Amino acid sequence: MTDTVPEASADPVVAPPVEKKESHGSAIWREVKGLLWVLVAVLLFHSFVAKPFYIPSESMMPALLKGDRLVVSKYPYGWSWVSPSFHVFPHWDGRLLGKMPERGDIVIVTPPGQSDDYIKRVIGLPGDTIEVRDGRLVINGKPVKSERRAPVMVPVDANVPCGIEFSGFQVETADGKAFCRLPIVRETLPNGVTYDTIDLGQSPGDNYGPITVPADHLFLMGDNRDRSADSRFDLGPPENGLGGPVPWENIGGRAEFITFSLDGTGQVLNPLSWFEALRSGRAGTSLRGHKE
Catalytic residue numbers, as ranges:
59, 120
Give the separation between CA 73 and CA 66, rounded to whole angstroms. Answer: 20
The residue type at 267: Q
Pairing between β-strand 142-143 and β-strand 136-139 as defined by DSSP bridges: antiparallel
DSSP collapsed to 3 states, the chain: CCCCCCCCCCCCCCCCCCCCCCCHHHHHHHHHHHHHHHHHHHHHHHHHCEEEEECCCCCCCCCCCCCEEEEEECCCCCECCCCCHHHCCCCCCCCECCCCCCCCCEEEECCCCCCCCEEEEEEECCCCEEEEECCEEEECCEECEEEEEEEEEEECCCCCCCCHHHCCCEEECCCCCEEEEEEEEEEECCCCEEEEEECCCCCHHHCEEEEECCCCEEEEECCEHHHCCCCCCCCCCCCCCCCCCEEHHHEEEEEEEEEEEECCCCECCEHHHHHHCECCCCCCCECCCEEC
Torsion sign, CA atoms 87, 91, 96, 102: positive
Sign of the dihedral through C-alpha 81, 259, 43, 61: positive
Other CB atoms within 10 Å distance of the CB of residue 283: 14
